[in-house]
Structure 1
Amino acid sequence: MVRALFDLRSVAVIGASGNPHKLGYTIVQNLVQYHFRGAIYPISLHAQTILGIKTYTRVSEVPRDIDLAVIAVPGEAVPPVLRECVRKAIPLVIVISAGFKESGESGASREQELREIIAGSSTRLLGPNCLGLIDAASSLNASFAASFPAYEPISFISQSGALGTSFLDWIGTNHIGLHYFVSLGNKADLDENYFLERLRDDRLIACYLEDIKDGRRFLQLGQQYNCRRPAIVLKAGRSEVAAEAIRSHTGALAGGYPLTKAALQQYGYIVVETIGDLFHTLKAFAWLPLPTFNRVAIVSNAGGAAVVASDTLIEKGLELADLSPATQDVLRQLLPRTASIHNPVDVIGDALSERYLQAMETVLQEEDVSSLLVILTPQVMTEIEKTAAYIGAMKKHGKPIVAAFIGGTLVEKGLKLLAEKKVPAYHFPETAIDVLAAMTWYAGYRQRTAYNLPTPPLKSPYYEQHHAAIDELYQQARALNLSSLPQTSVDEIARRYHIAIPESYVCRQVDQAVLCVRSSIGYPCVLKIVAPTLLHRSDIGAVITSINNEIELREAYYRLEALMREHQIVDGAICVQKYVAGGIPLIVGATRDDNFGTILLFGSGGIYAELLGDVVRRVAPLERGAMLDMILETHIAPILKGVRGQQPIDLQRIIDILTAIQYLMQDYDFIQSIDINPLLASPQNICAVDIKIALHPQCETPL
């Protein structure tokens, strides 16, 4: 651990300047202006003193130990300066300078040189290409940011320095303090995981990240600390498509931003979608207690706004609290006849501040109310500032309260007063509801048993008996330079891991298919092309179902042969399969993500799987209870449980399939992904009609 991070006694600024327009001057000025408590050593080749402080020409000339060095010299000059810092045994170096991997190949090479310079030393590096570091507890502003916050145990970790400057300005305006601001820059050495672990005792963490360097570690830190304190994450890159998306249905559905969001939420991170969401959500978590459940009361002087807010609230997974008859009786006595005594409570347009106060006091004493949303519109009679003051006084009830003052100039003083009272207030109810939903979600995460990262057994119960045979199948595929296992191998693996599949045979001639159907499969049957390079059979009509006799079988076989020639499918064969009648089409799968490890996927299947997007993703390994939660989160879950007199599907049998897939991914590193689509589920049968197993491109030998 870098002692200097939390016990700074001295800072050297390399590239310090007497020119007020240079970064080297700004950094020294920030250290002086905000009263850094330790020694300051400006390193400059030109100035004798800077802001009255003696300078040195090299860090090696400084007669004392240095805890932190801030480098603000041109990018090409950084490597020799960093070498000198390593020789001086400076524990922490911040490289403000740009001109590294963000600038192209030569910059990337220079950044790699920085890593090589510090390798094996006691020096750690923050940056390069970063804004710097702020520690309000130590009065340290080792950055070129113009703002300095008051101390509060809240920290912000940002991969964007420019966003950091906006954040610092915003928290000052909103009366929010800060402990650490960390600008990560290019993350040549220190990354978000390093700081998340060392800032674990702060009350609240917020992050803006463009990539996550070690996803598995990021999840482990979430598992360790997110039950104790909230961590809000804005992850850029929602439109990115995973590089391996074309490998299988599961690859396309499991990768990219949806996977990142699902993984982070699985381990308690509060994921937001916009910069505004990040700032607004942080404000709510900084100022409010957590709700105990999801039932919200609304008090408003505008009926229309309250109705729209109610719709939004329900869409976000919250509920309108039920007001008891006793509470309604009190409201009936306090409010005009035209007011609504039900939730949402409409105090009507002529409400003065006292009427707001009476309504708020009454609903906050209701046991069924966990949170309160107050909506105000600036009508002629409205006492905006007095109402804001009363809203602030309602914090005594210990329940989260948010406000929406809808308007412009007329409501600004009220919004400012609410900020001073530390009540999150917004221009629109939707924003207030979003932050309530985020807080309620996080409170639920803390209340339920959080998903663990359980340590799986080294091998599954099936491994010892079957690994030799499956390893042989893999070696055969590799010898043929295949990217996925042939259908016969896939079927054998499925049987060995107790995944039910229809009876099927791969045929090289039409007479062979006729014989298989006549002697074993029977009619009706299915013919389909199987080929490692063919991922979406339905796109080219490569599946023919409901074949009822030999004439239809021969016609279908010849049609598929012509199709293979037309599309130049040189690695294909034709599979004849027993027809499986009925069943709900599902997709079940797994893939290896470079960052988060094995990902399990479940959802609505069939040819519309990717279009509908009704899938849930989880980072493996999972216990059976977590797999059940996956299933129940999908839109298709109510149908699986039985609707309109239909028999329910045995969900435990679906969990058996998910478990088998998890076992296979655990047992065999050479498997890149497993894709079952469709898995046909009926009350009588669970059958994997189509399975693909893609091979890991870099795995040369099985485990």
Structure 2
Amino acid sequence: MIESFFTPKKIAVIGASRDPHKLGYGVIRNLLKYNFKGNIYPVNRSATEILNLPCYPSIDELPEGIDLGVVVVPAVHVPKVIQQCGEKRIKTAIVVSGGFSETGEDGRELEKRLKESANKYGIRIIGPNCIGSIDTHTPVNTTFVVGMPEQGGIGFISQSGAMVAAVIDWARGAGVGFSRIVSLGNQMDVTETEMIELIGNDRQTEVITAYAEGISDGRKFLNISEKISRKKPFVILKGGQSEKGAEAVSSHTGALSGSKEAYSAAFRKSGVLEARTMEEMFDWARALAWQPLPKGKRVAVLTNAGGPAILAVDALEKAGLELADLTQTTRDYLKSRLPKAASSKNPVDVLAGSGPATYTLALEALLTDETVDAVVVIQAPQDWFLPASLAEVVGETAGLHKKPVIASIMGKASVDEALNILHKRRVPNVAFPERAASILSAMVQRKDWLNSVSEQPGKSSSHLPPDTDRLLANNNFEELVEAYGIHLPPQQTVTTEQDLIEAAKKVGYPVVLKLLSPNHSHKSDIGGVITNISDENELINGWNRFIDIAKSNNIEMSGALVQKMLQNGQEVIIGMKRDEQFGPMVIFGTGGTDVELYKDVYTSLAPLSEQEAREMIESTIAGKKLKGWRNLRQADIDSVINALINMSHLAVNHPEITELEINPLYVLKDGEGSFAIDVRGVDNR
């Protein structure tokens, strides 16, 4: 039914106006100006016609069969108008009017009444407080904003009407074509996820883009977005990524996994590419719609100037891409055909005096080279030839190969014709070459995600150990993680000095002594952790020191933990946290006492596949150290991968656990395993 927002046959504009300065006039103007081929029915009790269209004094007097109503009346009248639409069997409506939940308590009450009216009659509503919808292929433009983008393959969904207005104006000047555009406003009814599914299944849409300030239903978003991402690229710009939600958490895990990390983890899980700016989002969208995906990260740079090439190379490296190491055959070929002073190594510099013919042979050679996955073509402004002539040969040559080509014909005033040519050839152009690195990085991310889709995480329910209810009833998080295959070092809890001495003998010196208290979890902050205890005298002194610490800090000492002292390993943190929107998340990063200082962490949604766990490790400084760094030996990374996967199953299986962290997980050298040194959790029951 919501397809009618983009392919209506009969539209009623309720609140249509003869005043060119009012929104109700703008909607009628756009429907006519941009060639809507269906019937338009203005509703205005005071007018007989608007823009030569006969008016209807009321909704009741409209003809039957209207499939979309556009409502532009004062907010206070909207619930009644929607009721009248229901009585007229109009099943979809766009409520442009503002003055609802975005204005405060009175507005929220009004929006509640509006929703009740819509629900009573089964009317699907976009808005309120929105701009409307556009389909360039139908065509239909229900907005009041001046302008209509060219036909194209980019769909755009926005929770901000101002963003839609800006994109419409920008698209007209940039020559970028769109398929469908929609402003969702307050999302009282139709949500961003429903629109993602609708536009994602539209055959004219090649790439979906979205500006979102929030997600209405996190799990549904994940499900729909992943299905759509398998079929076509989806790029999102998330606004309002506040960290305030982390202030009330009680563990490092919570503090390190705020809303920003949760959203980013959700986007990665579902194959959604997360842009940092509007410019970046539409740079990516054009390239993803127009160009094939690269097979790898190896990039060749073709230029006529050294400075722009250096900027491009710097940006490529920062984006995690690589300069292609050209084959000797390619270098010999280029050396024999380029000017004598030109560079036949990557980046290939044909020099300022070279023309389109030289660019052609060089680009053809690079695209043919088996070591090259993508090419960036740069042309700095010069006086030897028109940029349009270069655009012709770049577009033609790129079209003969199945490798992405990103152009950077630099400048503004002199390149309009060149840009038109490149756009017709479906080759994206950026004004400055650094932007090409961001584009290619996004394309590589897309390729990697598609390659990883075949590896799915195992079902967490099949990893549920026995007797977990008893462990959770006693808040025994240490034994719980051990039940999930995350090993603990030899250790023993004691409550008396005699038990302490016996435990140390059993565990074996050297040992670590940890103060246990039911009302203080950060032991190291108050001196409640003593390491490398080598004999009984040190052990008893440590016990007595804990008694003094408990008294001076006014905390209860319930005993101590005697733990085998592990040595020559590395400290990392692994943990889980439950996000309100997206459910259980797992974190990995640098552990120990400085974990919150460095904030070297990576967050993923549970459950994890082996590849996702490996990506978490490889994306952090902690992971680079585990591979071996300077004087550090390679650590047992496989054991960390297993610990992360097991932690993810634990997170899925036990929704009653709000937070759980192992800090540190002590990782020994390759083949010797990893051990949970300190385990803390929060049970919300």
Preserved CA contact (<8 Å) 2:342 2:350: yes
The residue aligned with 1:112 is 112
Q: CA deviation at 1:27?
A: 1.0
Q: CA deviation at 1:453?
A: 7.0
The residue aligned with 1:49 is 49
| 115 and 567 in structure 1: CA distance in 2 versus 1, 3 angstrom threshold | farther
The residue aligned with 2:259 is 256
| 2:24 maps to 1:10 | no
- Structure 1 CA distance for aligned equivalents of residues 235 and 383 of structure 2: 40
| 3 and 637 in structure 1: CA distance in 2 versus 1, 3 angstrom threshold | closer
| 121 and 554 in structure 1: CA distance in 2 versus 1, 3 angstrom threshold | farther
Q: Which amino acid aligns with 1:47?
A: A
Preserved CA contact (<8 Å) 2:324 2:346: yes
Q: Which deviates more from structure 2 when the two are superposed, residues 401-410 or residues 45-54?
A: 401-410
Task: Tell me the percent identity.
Answer: 35
Matched length: 679
| 689 and 322 in structure 1: CA distance in 2 versus 1, 3 angstrom threshold | same
Q: CA deviation at 1:258?
A: 2.3
The residue aligned with 1:189 is 189
Preserved CA contact (<8 Å) 1:352 1:383: no
Task: Deviation per CA, 1:470-503: give whole Å up to 9, x if none.
Answer: 3532xxxxxxxxxxx4xxx223333443432234
Q: Which amino acid aligns with 2:649?
A: Y
The residue aligned with 1:99 is 99
| 2:359 maps to 1:356 | yes
Q: Which amino acid aligns with 1:586?
A: V
The residue aligned with 1:439 is 443
- State the secondary structure of the residue aligned to 1:246: coil
The residue aligned with 1:688 is 676
- Structure 1 CA distance for aligned equivalents of residues 504 and 455 of structure 2: 50
| 2:455 maps to 1:469 | no
Preserved CA contact (<8 Å) 2:83 2:121: no
- Structure 1 CA distance for aligned equivalents of residues 113 and 147 of structure 2: 33
The residue aligned with 1:308 is 311
The residue aligned with 1:668 is 654
The residue aligned with 1:502 is 489
- State the secondary structure of the residue aligned to 2:150: coil
- State the secondary structure of the residue aligned to 1:341: coil
Preserved CA contact (<8 Å) 1:592 1:672: yes
- State the secondary structure of the residue aligned to 1:233: strand
Q: Which amino acid aligns with 2:448?
A: G
Q: CA deviation at 1:271?
A: 1.0
- Structure 1 CA distance for aligned equivalents of residues 295 and 399 of structure 2: 16
Q: CA deviation at 1:365?
A: 2.5
- Structure 2 CA distance for aligned equivalents of residues 605 and 595 of structure 1: 26
- Structure 1 CA distance for aligned equivalents of residues 118 and 340 of structure 2: 75
Q: CA deviation at 1:678?
A: 0.2
- Structure 2 CA distance for aligned equivalents of residues 340 and 351 of structure 1: 12
Preserved CA contact (<8 Å) 2:6 2:133: no
The residue aligned with 1:74 is 74
Task: Note the 1:27-46 alignment, pairs <5 A.
Answer: 27-46=27-46
Question: Which of 493, 505, 522 is matched with 2:480 structurally?
Answer: 493
| 321 and 384 in structure 1: CA distance in 2 versus 1, 3 angstrom threshold | same
Q: CA deviation at 1:239?
A: 4.6
The residue aligned with 1:216 is 219
Q: CA deviation at 1:427?
A: 2.2
- State the secondary structure of the residue aligned to 1:147: coil
Question: Which of 294, 297, 304 is matched with 1:294 structurally?
Answer: 297
Q: Which amino acid aligns with 2:683?
A: L
- Structure 1 CA distance for aligned equivalents of residues 552 and 410 of structure 2: 63
| 215 and 200 in structure 1: CA distance in 2 versus 1, 3 angstrom threshold | same
Q: CA deviation at 1:366?
A: 2.0
Superposition TM-score, scaled by structure 2 size: 0.91
- Structure 1 CA distance for aligned equivalents of residues 614 and 495 of structure 2: 41
| 2:630 maps to 1:627 | no
Task: Deviation per CA, 1:286-334: give whole Å up to 9, x if none.
Answer: 3323223322211111123323322321221222223222222221221
- Structure 2 CA distance for aligned equivalents of residues 442 and 94 of structure 1: 34
Structure 2: give runs of 5+ residues left out of the alignment. none
- Structure 1 CA distance for aligned equivalents of residues 547 and 106 of structure 2: 52
- Structure 2 CA distance for aligned equivalents of residues 635 and 305 of structure 1: 30
Preserved CA contact (<8 Å) 2:6 2:140: no
The residue aligned with 1:577 is 563
Task: Deviation per CA, 1:543-570: give whole Å up to 9, x if none.
Answer: 2322344554454445444544555546
Task: Deviation per CA, 1:517-551: give whole Å up to 9, x if none.
Answer: 45544543333344566454444444232234455
| 2:210 maps to 1:207 | yes
Task: Deviation per CA, 1:57-115: give whole Å up to 9, x if none.
Answer: 33222131221111112222222222222333322111111112221222223223323
| 567 and 111 in structure 1: CA distance in 2 versus 1, 3 angstrom threshold | farther
- Structure 2 CA distance for aligned equivalents of residues 532 and 128 of structure 1: 51
- State the secondary structure of the residue aligned to 2:13: strand
Preserved CA contact (<8 Å) 1:299 1:360: yes
Preserved CA contact (<8 Å) 2:547 2:557: no
Q: Name the Cα RMSD after superposition.
A: 2.8
Question: Which of 323, 338, 343 is matched with 2:326 structurally?
Answer: 323
| 303 and 449 in structure 1: CA distance in 2 versus 1, 3 angstrom threshold | same
| 519 and 664 in structure 1: CA distance in 2 versus 1, 3 angstrom threshold | same
Structure 1: give runs of 5+ residues left out of the alignment. 474-484
| 2:149 maps to 1:146 | no
Q: CA deviation at 1:233?
A: 0.6
Q: Which amino acid aligns with 1:405?
A: I
Preserved CA contact (<8 Å) 2:253 2:660: yes
| 167 and 369 in structure 1: CA distance in 2 versus 1, 3 angstrom threshold | same
- Structure 2 CA distance for aligned equivalents of residues 188 and 533 of structure 1: 44
- State the secondary structure of the residue aligned to 2:514: strand
Preserved CA contact (<8 Å) 2:66 2:90: yes
Superposition TM-score, scaled by structure 1 size: 0.89
Q: Which deviates more from structure 2 when the two are superposed, residues 270-279 or residues 48-57?
A: 48-57
Preserved CA contact (<8 Å) 2:243 2:258: no
| 560 and 13 in structure 1: CA distance in 2 versus 1, 3 angstrom threshold | farther
Task: Deviation per CA, 1:161-193: give whole Å up to 9, x if none.
Answer: 111111112222232322211101111111111
Task: Deviation per CA, 1:650-701: give whole Å up to 9, x if none.
Answer: 43433332343233323322111210010001133421010111112xx4xx
